Structures are given as structure tokens and as C-alpha cells.
Amino acid sequence: MLHINYNHFTLGVEEEYMVVDPETRELKSHEQKIVNEGHKMLKDKVKAEMHQAVVEVGTDICKDIEEAQRDVTTLRTVISQIAESNGFWMGASGTHPFSHWERQLITDHVRYSQIVNELQEAARSNLIFGLHVHVGMEDRKMAIHIANSARYFLPHVYALSTNSPFWEGRITGYKSYRTKVFDKFPRTGIPEFFDSIESYDNYVNLLIKTNCIDNAKKIWWDLRVHPFFNTVEFRICDVPMTINETIAIAALFQAICAKLYKLRLQNLNFIIYQRALVNENKWRASRYGIDGSLIDFGKESEVNTRVLIYELLDFVDDVVDELGSRHAIEYVHKMLEQGTGADRQIDVYNQRQNFSDVVDYIHSQFLVQ
């Protein structure tokens, strides 16, 4: 009987929130008031982002999903209280339903100035809000192996997270338009397959040597072996509207890593698919969320996305109890029943034909568990 130690699959969760003017429902610069006050209570767990209407938070390194849930709940609660006391609202959506990026201020920081100077309009227009989930690894060699295999599942989880159907007051037709905005950046999207951690490091070092990047954090793929931590970082998802959605997605990413690790220890490997094929599924997830179909490359056929997500839940089922995440994973069923954040935003808009009402709804869901 194979005994596996899952303790190194720690979790770190980063979320980006929107700062809203309660009167106009527009995005609004908080002049770093929320971040500055947040530092007093949360230390370095709250950060400024490139646009001044964005607040980024990050949990501690969490030993399990319950710890992550407590941390995310605390972060959302404290940030919301600070915002309210300063006359702002907080919300979690991959894009704001109608604010225009041209009216938003850029944070005065050397890193952001460099990015804007290099990427110009692509950077200034990058007014989007994402979720990043770090899953701890025993070493970087295992991290690159798991990252290679986990690429296949990115569209499945991304479909669940879709939460950005509107852009600058327009119905985009996408469940996640955020990724279309981010595509303008270099070094984004599904990563290539790397046959070893050495070949990945060689790639990074070549980019640094040739002045493409100054460090590996400017590789903005949907999934990456983190340049400084022993983690695989999942970056594909829109920021979810509610706490439970964030935690369910984090638990699912953790379970995928643990399952792939278990297979590896049994000398079994999940099949590696080409980036071009995985990209087809990413586009479908962006366009249709959980209401479309993805390609099952093994069967070479289209399959209902919800069916494939249920298959994914079955695939990871034998590791979730060891991880202590069954309760969090089971919330995926609720997400499939009630629809994604995008589905719910669209429902509110269809009922009321008013983007301000959509913002009200997003704000109302910020602390919902």
C-alpha cells in the first residue's frame, strides 16, 4: 500500500479586488488609503496594484484549505471594513461592468512605471482582476512535472471561475472577457511543455540575458513554476465573486496537483497534450463558461463542460480526504447548479437592464460564504 505524505501541498491565495464609488458605481482611486490602513492590520498581506482602483491581497502560507478559507474570509472582511470607513465599496469581478480604463490612475511606483513604459497601451488598459493560487511542491523538479500535466485541466477550472462578461458598458458575449484583455501582454496564456526544470531555467535565463525581462515574474503565463518559491502558481482564473467560490477553486487546484503527484509516485503519468490543443479549450471556456463544451482529446470529441468537470471531480476524489478538502471541493456542485459569477451578473443585467445594478450585486456578494 502506497503511503503518500501530502503535507507539502500548502496553499497561498492571492485576490485582486475592485474599489468602487458608492454614488457613481464607477471604479475609483482610493489614493492608497485602503492599502495604508490595511498594512497596519494585515502587514504585507495587502498591496497596491498597477491601477489605483485595485487592491491586491494574499494569504499566509496555509497548511490546508480550512486555513486558507479563514485567511481569505479575514482579508475580505477587514478590507471591506476599511473601505467602508473611507467611503468606498469593494467588489470581486474579473472586469468592472462599465468603468473605462482611460479614466483610471496608475500607481506611482517604479515597477509599474517600467511596465507602462514598456507595454504602453496594453498596460494602461489592463484593468482586470484575477485569482492566483499557489500550491506547495516538495521540489522544483516535481513542480515542473506537475505543471506540465496540470495544463490540461486549466480550461476546466477556468470555466468555473468565469466572472467578467462586461467591458466598458458593453455585453462582450464572453463569460470571461478578462483573459482577452490580458492577452495583449507578452508571455501570457497556456505555457509550453518543458522536459525538465533545467530547460525551464535555461529559457528564463535566456530572456533575462537578452533583456526581454529583468526577472521571471514578468512571465505571466496561466500556470508557472514560481521563480522564487517552491510552488506551482495557477493564474488563469477570474477573481471569483464569493469566498466559497475562491476556496472551491483553490481546493480543486490543490487536488489536481496531489493527484498528479500520486500518479507520479506510482510510475504513472497523465498524458501530455500540446499547448495548441489546450488553447482550444481555453477559448471555449472563456466564451461559454460552464454552458458550452470542451474537447476530450482522448476521445477526440466535444463533451459538455459540466460533464467534464464532474469527471475531473471523480479523477481527484481519491486524494481530497487526505487533503482535508472534501467540503470545499463539494461546493463545485453548487457552482455548477447556480452558475458562475458571469452567469449571475448576466442574469441581473437581463432582469434590470442596468449596469449599476450589476455593480450593486457584485458588491453585495463580496462577503458571502
DSSP 239: P
Span of 37-51, 185-199, 253-267, 341-355 with lowest mean pLDDT:
37-51
pTM of the entire predicted model:
0.96
Confidence label for 118 from pLDDT (cuts 50, 70 and 90):
confident
Over 70: is that where the pLDDT of 59 sits? yes
Task: Please report, in angstroms and rounded to a whole number, the separation of the first and last CA atoms in the chain.
Answer: 38
| Segment 74-107, tens digit of pLDDT | 999 999 999 999 999 999 999 999 998 767 777 7
Provide the 10 A C-beta neighbour count for residue 87: 12
For each of the domains in the chain, give its residue range(s) and CATH number, in order of start: 11-364 (3.30.590.20)
One-letter identity of residue 351: Q
Q: Say how far apart CA 33 and CA 220 lie, in whole Å.
A: 28
Taking the C-alpha atoms of residue 182 and residue 237, their distance in angstroms, rounded to an integer, is: 12
CA distance 343 to 285: 13
**pLDDT on residue 146:** 96
Confidence band, pLDDT 50/70/90 cuts, at residue 1: low
Please provide the average confidence, as pLDDT, over all residues in the chain.
Answer: 94
How many angstroms separate the Cα of 180 from the Cα of each of 122, 128, 167?
Answer: 11, 10, 11
Torsion angles phi and psi, residue 56, rounded to 5? -110, 140
Do 305 and 256 touch, CB atoms closer than 8 A? no
Backbone angles phi, psi at 51, to 5 degrees: -90, 140
C-beta separation of 222 from 325 below 8 A: no
Given the DSSP bridges, would you call strands 220-221 and 188-189 parallel, antiparallel or unpaired? parallel
